[in-house]
Structure 1
Amino acid sequence: MVSPTRPLISRFARTALAAVLTAGLTLPAAPAAAQGEAISLLRDTEIEAILHDDAAPLFDAAGLDAKSINILLIGGSDLQAFAAPGTMAVYTGLILESKTPNELQGVMAHEIGHLAGGHSARSGEMNSAGMKPFLLTMGLGVLAALAGNATAGAVLAGNAGYFGTLGAMGYSREQESRADQAGATYLERAGLSGRGLAEFFDNFRYQEVFQEAKRYPYFRTHPLSSDRIEALRARVEKQAHYAVTDSAEAQAKHEIMKAKLQGFINPNIAIVKCGDKVQTYPTKYACAIAYYQLKEPEKALARIDALLQEQPDNPYLWELKGQILFEFGRTAEAEAPQRKSVELKPDAPLLRVNLGQTLIALTDKAKIEEGVRELKRSLDQDGDNAVAWRLLAEAYATQGHDGLARYATAEYNDRIGDKRQALIFAMRARDMLDKGSPEWRRATDIAHTSDPDRDISRGLDKDDRL
């Protein structure tokens, strides 16, 4: 395991959680006890896709546009989830504790009930959250390049407070009951059972008798009561879809998600099952990741190759293979599997970031140019990916395009919320780029929004009038 004093960015961020987990997973948080642990945003395209599948019918049932809502995966052991305008966040601790998709969906439905009821907005905390910088910075596979990067670590540490603010929002018992009832309604509208919602809270009924300091943080902010649980159970048992069970496909995806997280977060636990004669796909997957995390790349690669024999069209396996090769210094070998992952899932921008990262690390000028194109294509799909902008800045610098390198650095700092550095690099870029070019205009926009002083503002305004 990574030392608690070092961001997990260095390991978790590298693997095939290559598209936030679309094919990659990033774990910049440090493992810690539930009390006061550091939390962090994880990116893995595969896991995010599963979470989207779980949450989408609930957002639709609540009258919300599922496509406009970001799903965040947060590294933390708490049994926590929260919904805020434009955002649904789920902690890894909750996923690992949930036994079925329906249990996880039950908690999601409850949190959507808070959101639809305006409870978070009325708490007064949302206005100070300032979530955007943290939501937009991490890309799973590419975080490998940030391992040990002090600047990246500072960004994570600085933004973790936003999650802490949202995660610490407290609700009244009345609001909790209302969110329960709303969640039950959304589950029923979506054709899902409310059993998981009732059973999740019932499983932790004992938390009610603990002193507040000894409760799970989630149950400190979401107070339980036996009356509330019984009222919820009575409601869902009467609903038409109460007897509906999870499909085999949904359960399989849930097990894959849990196995992947276990391999990254708890490799010493995942490795225990690697000697079993009979293994399921999730177990094999977790073992491959665990060997990777434990710095045994050859064992990890051998297991991934065996899995690819079974699933040759799985983009997440190809991405994981490419990321391991890249991380362990076999950059040229990483190119082919990363290309394959992009070929199989061209709509996943983080996979393109991983491929671009590999290509710009090669010495061939044509490869570097191609890497720039891949990074730009990823930004066409997800322009707020700060890591992609940082990598693009590196590539431009390698090519001798100093103005573009400074412009991309300005974009990077703008995305992570460092207005001072964004202003500095935007102004430098303006001095080096062709006046009126798209990049020059964008650099000007960044400067305008980065708290320039009066003299700089006047100069920018003058240029705007030209």
Structure 2
Amino acid sequence: MINRADARRFLAPILAISLVLSLLGPVPAAQAQSRRLSLIRDAEIEATVRSYADPLFRAAGLDPSGIRVLLVNEDSINAFVAGGMRLFINTGLLMRADTPNQVKGVIAHETGHIAGAHLSRIQDELKNATIEQIIGMVLGGAAAVASGNGGAMVAGVTLGNEIAKRNLLKYSRTQEAAADQAGMGFLDATKQSSRGMLEFFEKLEGQEFLLGQNQDPYLLTHPLTTDRIDSVQQHVDQSTYSESKDPPADIARHERMVAKLKGYIWPLSRVEQEFPQSDKSIGARYARAIALFRVSRMPEALQLMDSLLADVPNDPFFQEQKAQILFENGKLAEALPLYTAAFNQLPTEPLLGLELAQVEIEMEQPEYTKSAIHHLEAVTTIEPRNARAWYFLSVAYGRDGNLPMSALAQAEQAMAQGNSEEAWAQAKRALEGMEAGSPGWLKANDIISEAQLIKENK
């Protein structure tokens, strides 16, 4: 969740944390204007993508809890692995996927890159990079490939000349074929069809002969060949699971995910054209409710959300969305029980905990402040690099009169944002009011040591 002013301008609650980049380096002609990209956070969309990804990660022998899946607010088709165990997926890919199986095919392929440790040296060097730096490097790399200008690689980031000179995420054809084979194996292991992978490649096949700046970035970093497509086709022809269909629950979640993204990203006129009032499906009403909310037509948005909750009572994500509409219109007391109900159903969902805590803080009542601290401590345990959660925790600690812990939370926030100097200063301030040997005292010293190490390495 973001503040109310930002929410009206951007994609609340999708932009739960906003990590916006401006590309400062040269970009292709089609991107001549300065571009701004962001990660998006949404509990429902992340849960949907994780439901596709986690079985594939486990089939690859990977621990799903050790892999972050991040959504990039970008209309082009792309997905990539960077910075260790981090999988990035563009919203454009999700919205253009016709079926869950197509998204699963992409994730299976990218899982093949992770399991195969492709570009492992670069990944090792990027493990400690901020998300902003990684996206900047990836975009700069795509610009360099498209324009032939290696200078575009620096694209507003400072990871050092050695990395900047490389063609980040430029996989070889051999690695691509290996990732295909591994991905198809993971799909078979989970008794799913590889047909979606084939359909995804067929979507991109027609772009092979376009100029670089007109191609989707996926082709710039994942060279597509006829041999690869033929190999996947052969597997589809032979696999026992090729005729396996997506479960109805997956199809329903996919339709909701796509509708939600379109509701937040597209203008209202386009949403109403694709989802006219005559369309009473869940996805259509969901998209219209969100698009109406974005243009401050609250009564109509709430009426649609009430109709959805009448059809699917106690759906936590519908409860969350209705709560968001109320919250962004200043109706905190009405939003709080809805957030609470959603969180009680999904108590390990960090974004729901964060949204609930923000409302509790803004209620400005002592009992809610203590509850917010409890929820935010749980969120930061699950997502220790969630800068926004640390920010709200610092506010809650401050209101509760615990200034040393407030300073420690600010140190954690600074560290999550890559500001090691601020983290060092706040951790030093926190130490002044803490008992030696206490958990907070130990953590503050850990931050000081980490910040000093970063400074020395610079």
CA contact (8 A) 1:29 1:76 kept: no
Partner of 1:150: none
Q: Distance in 2 between matches of 1:13 and 1:387?
A: 16
> Secondary structure at the residue paired with 1:441?
helix
- CA distance 1:131–1:45, shift in 2 (3 Å): farther
CA contact (8 A) 1:11 1:27 kept: no
Structure 1 segment 408-447 matched on structure 2, within 5 A: 408-447=409-448
CA contact (8 A) 1:315 1:341 kept: yes
CA contact (8 A) 2:16 2:351 kept: no
Gaps of 5+ in 1: 1-6, 18-23, 135-156, 455-466
Partner of 1:366: 367
Q: Distance in 2 between matches of 1:338 and 1:42?
A: 20
CA drift at 1:423:
0.4
Identity %: 33
CA contact (8 A) 2:138 2:169 kept: no
Deviations 1:286-330 (Å, cap 9, x if unpaired)?
Answer: 111111122222221221122112222111111122222222222
Letter in 2 for 1:99: D
Structure 1 segment 289-300 matched on structure 2, within 5 A: 289-300=290-301
Q: Distance in 1 between matches of 2:313 and 2:416?
A: 36
RMSD: 2.8
Q: Structure 1 stretch 261-270 or stretch 445-454: which is displaced more? A: 445-454
1:45 pairs with one of 43, 46, 51:
43
Q: Distance in 2 between matches of 1:398 and 1:86?
A: 37
CA drift at 1:197:
1.0
Structure 1 residue 118 corresponds to structure 2 residue 117: yes
- CA distance 1:416–1:289, shift in 2 (3 Å): same
Structure 1 residue 88 corresponds to structure 2 residue 91: no
CA drift at 1:12:
4.8
CA contact (8 A) 1:9 1:27 kept: no
CA contact (8 A) 1:62 1:186 kept: yes
Structure 1 residue 262 corresponds to structure 2 residue 262: yes
Letter in 1 for 2:210: F
> Secondary structure at the residue paired with 2:39?
strand
CA drift at 1:445:
1.5
Structure 1 segment 184-203 matched on structure 2, within 5 A: 184-203=184-203
Structure 1 segment 55-454 matched on structure 2, within 5 A: 55-84=53-82, 85-121=84-120, 124-130=121-127, 133-134=130-131, 160-161=135-136, 164=139, 168-268=168-268, 269-273=270-274, 275-451=276-452
CA contact (8 A) 1:184 1:236 kept: no
Q: Distance in 2 between matches of 1:46 and 1:386?
A: 20
CA drift at 1:364:
2.2
Partner of 2:147: none
CA contact (8 A) 1:12 1:25 kept: no
Q: Distance in 2 between matches of 1:415 and 1:10?
A: 26
- CA distance 1:93–1:453, shift in 2 (3 Å): closer
Number of residue pairs matched? Answer: 417
> Secondary structure at the residue paired with 1:209?
coil
Letter in 1 for 2:397: Y
- CA distance 1:245–1:131, shift in 2 (3 Å): farther
CA contact (8 A) 1:194 1:237 kept: no
CA drift at 1:29:
5.3
CA contact (8 A) 2:17 2:388 kept: no
- CA distance 1:159–1:328, shift in 2 (3 Å): farther
> Secondary structure at the residue paired with 1:383?
coil
- CA distance 1:13–1:204, shift in 2 (3 Å): closer
CA drift at 1:207:
1.6
Deviations 1:159-199 (Å, cap 9, x if unpaired)?
Answer: 64255478751112222222222222222222111111112
CA contact (8 A) 2:7 2:328 kept: no
- CA distance 1:296–1:237, shift in 2 (3 Å): same
Q: Distance in 2 between matches of 1:451 and 1:109?
A: 39
> Secondary structure at the residue paired with 1:361?
helix
- CA distance 1:406–1:418, shift in 2 (3 Å): same
TM (norm. structure 1) is 0.82
- CA distance 1:180–1:203, shift in 2 (3 Å): same
Tell me: higher relative CO, structure 1 or 2? Use CA pairs within 8 A at least 6 residues apart: 1
- CA distance 1:29–1:402, shift in 2 (3 Å): closer
